[in-house]
A and B are shown apart, each in its own frame.
Chain A
Amino acid sequence: MNAINKEPEYQEIEVLLPWYAAGTLSRRDANRVEQALARDRELARQYDLVREELVETIHLNETLGAPSARAMERLFAAIDAEEARAPRHRRWFDLGSRISEFLSSLTPRTLAWSATAAGAILVQAAVIAAVVVKEQGSPSGPGLASAPSEGSYAVVRFAPQATADDITNFLRAYKATVVEGPLNMGGQLYRIRLSETKLPKEEVGKIVRQMQSESKVVDFIAAKE
């Protein structure tokens, strides 16, 4: 193993390690880092420290919770007040048909033709955000606005081919609600509330197993404290 320790190239690579760990480097820079890591033990050890920092930074941020409903109520009250004072000029369009056109285009076939997995993730985030709004309607809807506290929860990754209707029907069937997401772990995980009261562990496990069997809609699911 040839050490490149303390040479200018080492220092250049060393400062890039946090972005390499987060997956936000260009392909070219990522290749440079990969090659350097393969031949320099000290750099590899340094990378382990970066990964520890990344994991704990995510953990720390995930414990920060979410804003209360007050923030959203304030926002939409301010928007209403502005619109009442000076309504903005709007282009005429049929909003309902545009949304249904957008959602209906998110068929398995569309997704299969998606250029990248990242594209599919963005599309799915849009589908689920639309489901959340469709289900909860009002800006002050409880699940939209506040972080989960009481009740029983699970973390779910929906199947890439699941459409907005599939997800809506699935959530209705289990009386579940999307309360948070996408969580910052690849951008595909959502926290759902299974019950507003805390259920026994065995019962949560039973519901999660039933949900897992719905492979058309659910790709991955796990109970979450």
Chain B
Amino acid sequence: MQSTPDEVLIGRIANGDRLAMQVLYARYHVRVFRFVVRLVRDEATAEDVISEVFLDVWRQAGRFEGRSTVSTWLLAIARFKAISALRRRTDEELDEEAAAAIEDLSDNPATALEKKDKSAMLRKCLAGLSAEHREIIDLVYYHEKSVEEVAEIVGIPENTVKTRMFYARKRLAELLKSEGIERGWP
């Protein structure tokens, strides 16, 4: 049995192997993009960020120590880059986005129809969560990260990971309730 293929790729990237870089990119670029686009809410910015993430991998592969998985390492770099990109955006842009998100959650004729579809409403409320709550829900449910891995990516203690996830779910239940869907929890 081979050693972990991702780690082998990182070793080859550290030696300047472009093919290994292409394989790693092919394997992870979609997942990293989706993580970033949910944080920055803008596809063009997310594309810039993922180029920067993989360029960092090219530069820093020699320093990868294998204490976490490669995907956890990638998501930690991606998070840092996404937050930096958000800081570069003006307050005005962020205000417009916040307004759009609120508007997006309000009732309109299409929304009335969607209310009949609980799944669609759940997705809409997931999209309406704060960046902090979206991030933790995505990491746990979509990126399949353990408590320890989320703690490493986000840079918070493990107990905070658990409570943040709990409050993200609670907030989700509140948003659903405001849309007329009572889940009986919390």
Task: List A residues at the B interface (Cβ < 8 Å).
Answer: 14-16, 18-19, 21-25, 45-46, 49-50, 52-61, 64-68, 70-72, 74-76, 78-79, 82-83, 87-88, 90-91, 93, 95, 99, 102, 105, 110, 113-115, 119, 122-123, 125-126, 129-130, 132-133, 139, 144, 147, 180, 184
B15 within 8 A of A: yes
CB-based contact B172/A53 at 8 Å: yes
New contact pairs (13) apart from A15-B162, A58-B141, CB-CB < 8 Å: A18-B169, A24-B144, A45-B184, A49-B185, A53-B141, A56-B123, A67-B30, A67-B47, A79-B21, A122-B5, A122-B6, A139-B22, A184-B143
Closest 10 CB pairs of A and B: A57-B141, A126-B5, A71-B47, A24-B146, A74-B51, A56-B122, A15-B162, A75-B51, A129-B23, A61-B142
CB-based contact A66/B5 at 8 Å: no
> Chain B residues with Cβ under 8 A from A95's Cβ?
17, 19
Q: How large is the interface on B (under 10, 10 to 19, 20 to 34, 35 or more residues)?
A: 35 or more
Residue from A14, A66, A88 within 8 A of B33 (CB atoms): A66
CB-based contact B26/A144 at 8 Å: yes
CB-based contact B23/A113 at 8 Å: no
CB-based contact B23/A61 at 8 Å: no
B105 within 8 A of A: no
> Chain A residues with Cβ under 8 A from B127's Cβ?
60
| Bound form: Cα–Cα A46–B141 in Å | 16
| Bound form: Cα–Cα A15–B170 in Å | 11
Min Cβ gap A189→B in Å is: 13
Min Cβ gap A82→B in Å is: 8
CB-based contact B37/A133 at 8 Å: no
CB-based contact B1/A129 at 8 Å: no
CB-based contact B126/A56 at 8 Å: yes
B183 within 8 A of A: yes
CB-based contact B185/A66 at 8 Å: no
B2 within 8 A of A: yes
CB-based contact A71/B142 at 8 Å: no
| Bound form: Cα–Cα A122–B23 in Å | 13
Q: Given A71-B50, A126-B23, check contact A18 B29 (CB 8 Å).
A: no
Closest to A113 in B: B1
| Bound form: Cα–Cα A90–B137 in Å | 41
CB-based contact A78/B51 at 8 Å: yes
| Bound form: Cα–Cα A82–B58 in Å | 10
CB-based contact A57/B126 at 8 Å: yes
Residue from A24, A105, A119, A132 within 8 A of B26 (CB atoms): A132
Q: Given A66-B33, A95-B19, A184-B142, check contact A60 B123 (CB 8 Å).
A: yes
> Chain B residues with Cβ under 8 A from A90's Cβ?
15-16
Closest to B165 in A: A18
Closest to A125 in B: B27
CB-based contact B126/A129 at 8 Å: no
CB-based contact A78/B47 at 8 Å: no
> Chain A residues with Cβ under 8 A from B169's Cβ?
18, 50, 53
B4 within 8 A of A: yes
B89 within 8 A of A: no
Residue of B6, B47, B119, B141 with most chain A CB atoms under a 10 A cut-off: B141
> Chain A residues with Cβ under 8 A from B8's Cβ?
102
CB-based contact A49/B5 at 8 Å: no
> Chain B residues with Cβ under 8 A from A132's Cβ?
23, 26
Min Cβ gap B17→A in Å is: 6
B147 within 8 A of A: yes
| Bound form: Cα–Cα A88–B18 in Å | 12
Q: Given A67-B50, A71-B50, check contact A52 B2 (CB 8 Å).
A: no
CB-based contact B144/A23 at 8 Å: yes
B81 within 8 A of A: no
